[in-house]
Structure 1
Amino acid sequence: MTNQLTFRIFTEPQQGATYDDLLRVARCAENAGYDAFFRSDHYLKMGSVTGEPGPTDAWTTLAGLARETSRVRLGTLMTAATFRQPGPLAITVAQVDQMSGGRVEFGLGSGWYAEEHAAYGIPFPSLRERFDRYAEQLEIITGLWATPQRQTYSFRGRYYEVVDSPALPKPAQQPRPPVLVGGLGAKRTPALAARFADEFNLPFVDVDTACAQFERVDAACREIGRDPGEIIRSVALVVCVGRDEAEVARRADAIGREVEELRRNGLAGTPDEVGDKLAVWRERTGIRRVYLQVLDLSDLDHIELFAGEVAPRFR
């Protein structure tokens, strides 16, 4: 098994960040050699932080970054299907892909955070309905992108109907931008991943949980005759790396977390310590990508430290 891993920066701007903050981090990630810059798609802060100055829209952000970066790939973990209609979302993502020269990756989820829906007047149906809508959105968006030029696309589902769409614009990437699916659902999530995903992502889980869910995705692929190896396995983990224990503790304190909790649940410690943990993840789960959840967006040295001291071990 190859030792190679690619690393991506993953931000949570609903916790308090401006577009300019995100631009600094994205440019830092690009200059430091990271594969991609991703952000969450949320409209309300979580936990005890104030969330000021307020949320930024994920796809507005990525459109701006598409023009202000040149190499790093751009995407969401995950856009909520409850936030947008599938047709306009397909148009938005295709346009940002064009604006970036083909660097967009499209993560879509069912939506889960009830409070943000209440805070901004977004309908929040039952879990079953959210998942049904999510499945239809995946079908429609990928169907629109896959429709040949000068042909039309139609779809009739329980929640959405598309009639004779010209299926434009087309994304720069063909046949489409990579599609990311993720989550811990035992049946429907693996089945959707098998049908639609180029990558399957698990956020903030332990190695054993990840192994079990990746196996479910593999089984779902085999059920429909798809090679499980076509789907990239990835995880998202909070990162807190320091050159010594004092620096690790300072960075943990800056994000309101305990060092030992971060060691258990994320990637915390010295570069050697974090590298050893990543090697275990790679060996046991077969992951090929890691999304590093960076919570202190002012600490660009943290991003550069990981790139310089941990990432080279996995090239």
Structure 2
Amino acid sequence: MDTSLSFRIFTEPQQGATYDDLLRVARTAEDAGYDAFFRSDHYLKMGSVTGLPGPTDAWITLAGLARETSRLRLGTLMTAGTFRLPGPLAISVAQVDQMSGGRVEFGIGSGWYEAEHTAYGIPFGSLRERFERYAEQLEIITGLWATPEGQSFSFAGKHYRLTDSPALPKPAQRPRPPVLIGGMGARRTPALAARFADEFNLPFVDVDSAVAQYERVAAACTEIGRDPAEIIRSAALVVCVGRDEAEIARRAKAIGREVDELRRNGLCGTPAEVVDRLGTWRQRTGIARVYLQLLDLSDLDHVELIAAEVAPQLR
């Protein structure tokens, strides 16, 4: 059994970042040997940051990065299902996959941040409605991608109806880009993951909660006759690594967090401490990928430090 761990950078541009900021991080990550560059899909800042100069669109960003990087996998944690209709979203993602030469990974969620919907005039709906739409979107998007060229795709659901779609364009990856699903929902989320996910991601949870949720996903797979091992397990964790306590404290202050809190809830400490913590995660949960939530996008030395002193010990 492969116990190596791949390292991915995860950014939150709604907190304040330009496209050029993201490009610098992505290029640094690519040069440093990271596996992938991911970003959130939000239109409104969170917390006390200014958020200036304002949000950037996830799929427009990834289209640009597709042409300005050569190796990194590119994706979202997670595309908000409330933001886009499934048919046009399938077109956008397929196009970015073509633009990247087949490097896109498609994370999608139901959408949860009501304030950004209010701020930008996006319909939100109840949790039940959002999840119903989310399930239909997964069926539609994967169905469009899987439809053979020359055939058409139709779908009649409660919220969406497609009639005789040519199901074009196709992504570069066949039958489709990997689909990522995540979250802590106890019943519906594992069931959807069992049907559609190539990877299941848990963001910012503790190890015990992660073990329980991965087990729910495995049980949901078994229930429908799917091998649970087909789904890659991953986790997203905030990162704050320093060569000594002073550097750790400086990096924590830069993102408005306390060192003790980060040590409890994220990947915080010296390279040796973070290697030990990730070793525990890998041993207890079986994760194969870790998404490092990088909140200070100006600190490229942080990206390079982790690549040099943490990642090689776990690959």
Q: Which band: TM-score by shorter chain? A: over 0.9
Q: CA–CA distance in 2 between the matches of 1:44 and 1:32? A: 30
Matching residue of 2:87: 87
Matching residue of 2:222: 222
Matching residue of 1:198: 198
SS of residue paired to 2:201: strand
Q: Which runs of 4+ in 1 moved over 6 A?
A: none
Matching residue of 1:134: 134
Amino acid at match of 1:176: R
Superimposed CA distance per residue, residues 150-190 of structure 1 (whole angstroms, 9 cap, x where no aligned partner):
00000000000000000000000001000000000000000
Superimposed CA distance per residue, residues 252-305 of structure 1 (whole angstroms, 9 cap, x where no aligned partner):
000000000000000000000000000000000000000000000000000000
Q: CA–CA distance in 2 between the matches of 1:213 and 1:65? A: 33
Q: CA–CA distance in 2 between the matches of 1:125 and 1:263? A: 37
Matching residue of 2:105: 105
Q: CA–CA distance in 2 between the matches of 1:87 and 1:35? A: 29
Superimposed CA distance per residue, residues 59-80 of structure 1 (whole angstroms, 9 cap, x where no aligned partner):
0000000000000000000000
The alignment's C-alpha RMSD in Å is: 0.5
Matching residue of 2:309: 309
Q: CA–CA distance in 2 between the matches of 1:187 and 1:163? A: 31
Q: CA–CA distance in 1 between the matches of 2:31 and 2:131? A: 38
Q: CA–CA distance in 2 between the matches of 1:23 and 1:160? A: 35
SS of residue paired to 2:65: helix
SS of residue paired to 1:229: helix
Amino acid at match of 2:273: E
Q: CA–CA distance in 2 between the matches of 1:177 and 1:185? A: 24
Q: CA–CA distance in 2 between the matches of 1:226 and 1:239? A: 34
Matching residue of 1:294: 294
Where does 1:1-315 land on structure 2 (aligned, <5 Å)? 2-315=2-315
Q: CA–CA distance in 1 between the matches of 2:124 and 2:140? A: 20
* Contiguous gaps of at least 5 residues in structure 1: none
Q: CA–CA distance in 2 between the matches of 1:50 and 1:127? A: 29
SS of residue paired to 1:106: strand
Q: CA–CA distance in 1 between the matches of 2:109 and 2:62? A: 18
Amino acid at match of 1:287: I
State the 1:3 CA deviation. Answer: 3.3
SS of residue paired to 1:297: coil
State the 1:147 CA deviation. Answer: 0.1
State the 1:102 CA deviation. Answer: 0.1
SS of residue paired to 1:139: helix
State the 1:314 CA deviation. Answer: 1.1
SS of residue paired to 2:121: coil
Identity of aligned residues (%): 82
SS of residue paired to 2:239: strand
Q: How many residues align?
A: 315
SS of residue paired to 1:10: strand
State the 1:226 CA deviation. Answer: 0.2
Tell me the TM-score normalized by structure 1: 1.00
Tell me the TM-score normalized by structure 2: 1.00
Q: CA–CA distance in 2 between the matches of 1:79 and 1:72? A: 18
Superimposed CA distance per residue, residues 113-149 of structure 1 (whole angstroms, 9 cap, x where no aligned partner):
0000000000010000000000000000000000001
* Contiguous gaps of at least 5 residues in structure 2: none
Q: CA–CA distance in 2 between the matches of 1:307 and 1:174? A: 31
Q: CA–CA distance in 1 between the matches of 2:47 and 2:310? A: 30
Superimposed CA distance per residue, residues 5-25 of structure 1 (whole angstroms, 9 cap, x where no aligned partner):
000000000000000000000
Q: CA–CA distance in 1 between the matches of 2:173 and 2:282? A: 29
Q: CA–CA distance in 2 between the matches of 1:249 and 1:285? A: 29
Q: CA–CA distance in 2 between the matches of 1:3 and 1:173? A: 26
Amino acid at match of 2:194: A
State the 1:2 CA deviation. Answer: 3.9
